[in-house]
Structure 1
Amino acid sequence: MAELVYRPVIGLAQGMFKALDLRFDIQGAEHIPQRGGAVLVSNHIGYLDFVFCGLAARPAKRLVRFMAKDSVFRHKVSGPLMRAMKHIPVDRSAGVDAYRHALSALRSGEIIGVFPEATISTSFTLKGFKSGAARLAQEAGVPLVPMALWGTQRLWTKGRKRDLGRNHIPVAIRVGEPLTAAADESADTLTGRVRSRVQELLEAAQRAYPVRTEGPEDSWWIPAHLGGTAPAAAEAGGRL
């Protein structure tokens, strides 16, 4: 079936990136499978993260179907777009339907995008991962592709005004090699393994990131353990 909405939206997003003069540093995009199902797993630090995760899949010419909270689908603007792009609504109080929808999509060869922290990390450190992504991959017999984003929180994140000016903000994206479940590996063990890999990718992105700050107020997006003024994980409700 033709993608009557998704591809034009990608074009609009790429036009926005160019207008904002974002400075992309993408490494590992070759690890996105060119065919077949996969679960893409990323950290979550900003409202536009799904856009940037999807960008990393473009060299492989893949479209990612993201699992997102159902309130996004009820919004008068984002709702019709999300449904037309075949993303998957998740009702956190009853996630069985979303799980079955994602499983069916994986078995039909789609890539499903998941943010296993379930919500934005306002400390910009990695929170605990829920096991749903691992269970999906195991049941569908597909790999998990770990990914880390850095810099996206500077554009639009929880508790901050959007900064969509032409500020040349760098955005780092790191994609790791696909992981598959070992024989008899539990979902919890696989989840821990994936989280560790995302943490490694995140740290690599942070090390390579061109940090430019002009004082404490300008370092709000840098985690406390890296010398910034973002709230510590415990203060932000994070779980290590």
Structure 2
Amino acid sequence: MSLKEQSWAYRFVVHLLRPLFMALTRRDWRGAEHLPAEGGFVACSNHMTYVDPLTFAHFLIDNGRPPVFLGKEEVFRVPVVGWLLREADQIPVHRETGDAVAAFSSAVEGLEQGRCIAIFPEATLTRDPQLWPMVGKTGAARLALTTGCSVVPVAQWGPQEILMPYAKRLRLLPRKTMRVLAGPPVDLDDLRGRPLDAEVLTEASGRIMRDITGLLEQLRGEQAPARRFDPREHGLPRTGNPHKPKRRAS
């Protein structure tokens, strides 16, 4: 679906934020030829900072595929912002709860309507100390294998220069370059048609994260660690700021 086909709220937000990003950042967009020209697909990106969704959306919109995001439900509770997100047809996700099923159904419906569904497979900001992608969750894989749609991996590097993970102070000057690179669809053909058990979903999710990481290596000119960071192995929570002191029970 084109930008003209989106809701009034979607177009309002784009017309409000895009000029700001055009003025405040430089852009290095690459790999747009891998985005399907039409039809539903899933776009998956790495997640380092709260600026990532804006950069990710900017890239997709500039290349004719305005996204629908699956975002954490807490954002939808923010006054005005949450209302605009709902009016713009974005999809809230109640993480770590059974209510996530509703978000999955909405995403499937969006794909059937020919939309681009944008997902951060890590489901939260990466906990990797060097900001490499960590172990992903299986939602994007399940969505792709259920619907048969393609998954386009996307890597971005640059948003962390504007806002570091969990930081509150923006660093807008001097202007930063937002680098985004999309790659060929993830090869999931041998997994399609198989029962969606833990083994298949884990394998598909691993391939998605592998391809995103490979693209990020190209952007950074560095090699990622051989073993992907897993928060569970380090005793870190899957959601929330891992560096924030826990409140003591009274």
TM-score bracket for the superposition, by shorter chain length: 0.7 to 0.9
For the pair 1:6 / 2:10, whether they are aligned, the reply is: yes
Alignment size in residue pairs: 218
* 2:66 pairs with 1:63: yes
1:107-144: per-residue Cα shift (whole Å, max 9, x none)?
A: 22111111111111143111101111011011111000
Identity, % of aligned positions = 33
Unaligned runs of at least 5 residues, structure 2:
193-199, 226-230, 239-250
Distance in 1 (alpha carbons) for counterparts of 2:122 and 2:6 = 32
Structure 1 unaligned residues grouped into runs of 5+: 209-222, 226-232
Q: Please give the alpha-carbon distance, in whole angstroms, between the structure 1 residues aligned to 2:211 and 2:145.
A: 17
Q: Which letter maps to 2:107?
A: A
Distance 1:238 1:117 in 2: 12
CA spacing shift, 1:2–1:145, aligned 2, 3 Å: closer
Shift of 1:235: 6.9
Q: 1-side partners of 2:21 and 2:169: how far apart?
A: 15
**Which residue matches 1:80?**
83
Task: Report the RMSD for the aligned CA atoms in angstroms.
Answer: 2.6
Alignment partner, residue 122 of structure 2: 117
- State the shift of 1:24 in Å: 1.3
The reply to whether residue 104 of structure 1 matches residue 118 of structure 2 is no
Within a 5 Å distance, the mapping from 1:1-240 to structure 2 comes to: 2-20=6-24, 22-92=25-95, 93-94=97-98, 95-122=100-127, 123=129, 124-184=131-191, 186-207=200-221, 237=236
CA shift for structure 1 position 206: 0.8
SS at match of 1:205: helix
Q: Which amino acid aligns with 1:15?
A: P
Contact 2:121 2:139 survives alignment (8 Å): yes
Inter-partner Cα distance in structure 1 for 2:122 and 2:216: 14
Q: Secondary structure in 2 aligned to 1:30? A: helix
TM-score, length of structure 1 as denominator length? 0.82
Post-superposition shift, 1:224?
11
Aligned partners of 1:12 and 1:205: how far apart in 2?
29
What secondary structure, in the 3-state scheme, does the structure 1 residue paired with 2:117 have? strand
TM-score by length of 2: 0.79
The structural deviation recorded for 1:164 is 4.7
Q: Which amino acid aligns with 1:111?
A: C
What amino acid does structure 2 have at the position aligned with 1:128?
Answer: V
User: Aligned pair in 2 of structure 1 residues 2, 14: CA closer, same or farther (>3 Å)?
Assistant: closer
